[in-house]
Amino acid sequence: MIRSIITTLGILLAWHVVILVLAPPRFIFPGPWDVMVAFVDNFSLLIENLAITSVEIVVGLFIGCVLGMLSALLLISFDGARRWLLPVLVVSQAIPVFALAPLLTLWFGYGIAPKIIMASLIIFFPVSAACHDGLRYAPTSRLDLARTMGASNWAILRHIRLPSALPAIASGVRVAAAVAPIGAVVGEWVGSSKGLGYIMLHANARMQTDLMFAALFLLCLASVALYFSVNRLLDNLLSWQADTTRHNQFQYSQQGTPRQ
């Protein structure tokens, strides 16, 4: 906490020094005080639009994570699906997701739906890839033992593959939480009537750079809060992983200690 405060104060101090030395026009690069004044003057407007953007981000994060995990389960469970769908997923990443934003706005209108879809599309592949790798690289010794004992594919998936894949899935979800705001804001830039992206776009058009910085600052705070909330939740859900790691390290150190 203290380090975060010191880092923030250092950034603000460097920002203020740049303003003092270069003295750029306010409409090009406002100072910290100008941004703070714009933030206070437009607080209710910013909070109202933050609520809309937050809904888009959270719902898109949930949908993208669920779809990514389901696709990974489909790929690992059926050889035919893996042969046909995996190349499609890889090729789909060659299409810039941002280029789809105008089409989504055309198809679904200027409401909240295209922004949620944009966030879900950006999130989908990282979660799917992380989950698929975690399921695929389950410990071979456990898989062989389960097959030797006649375990079904469902039992193997439930008791071996999924528990082994949880750390990889958690990493994919952390990445998803970090990139989820991108999809929502890009969707708002392309076409919307509400949201922080809408505020930033119109503030830029009216040369209200201080308001644009205030909206960007609020978006950064929301994104950081989302990431650390997801990270804390995953750490609590996977607390057994740290205990297992420490137990394995202890066993290794005991085995490596020479006997007297």
Which comes out higher in pLDDT, residue 26 or 199? 199
Residues 6+ apart with CB under 8 A from 116: 56, 59, 60, 63, 184
* Domains delineated in the chain: 30-238 (1.10.3720.10)
Tell me what the mean pLDDT of segment 100-129 comes to.
86
pLDDT at 203 over 80: yes
Backbone dihedral angles phi then psi of residue 107, each to the nearest 5 degrees: -80, -40
Task: Give the pLDDT band (50/70/90) at residue 214.
Answer: very high
- Residue 208 vs residues 12, 20, 28, 92, 204: alpha-carbon distances, Å: 20, 20, 9, 38, 6
Backbone dihedral angles phi then psi of residue 258, each to the nearest 5 degrees: -70, 140
Which comes out higher in pLDDT, residue 189 or 49? 49
Sole residue written with tokens 């958690």 = 170
Which of these ranges, 89-93, 104-108, 207-211, has the smallest mean pLDDT? 89-93
Which of these ranges, 13-17, 122-126, 153-157, 209-213, has the smallest mean pLDDT? 153-157
pLDDT at 113 over 80: yes
| pLDDT above 70 coverage of the chain, percent | 91
Using CA atoms, how far apart are residues 196 and 202, in angstroms rounded to an integer? 10
Q: Output the six-digit token pair for 227.
A: 């990431």
Using CA atoms, how far apart are residues 98 and 118, in angstroms rounded to an integer? 8
Task: Give the pLDDT band (50/70/90) at residue 18.
Answer: confident
Q: Output the six-digit token pair for 235.
A: 């750490």
Tell me what the mean pLDDT of segment 67-96 comes to.
79
Contact 197, 189 (CB under 8 A): yes
Q: How high is the pLDDT of residue 61?
A: 93
Tell me what the mean pLDDT of segment 171-191 comes to.
87
pLDDT at 242 over 70: no
Number of neighbouring beta carbons within 10 Å of residue 218: 20
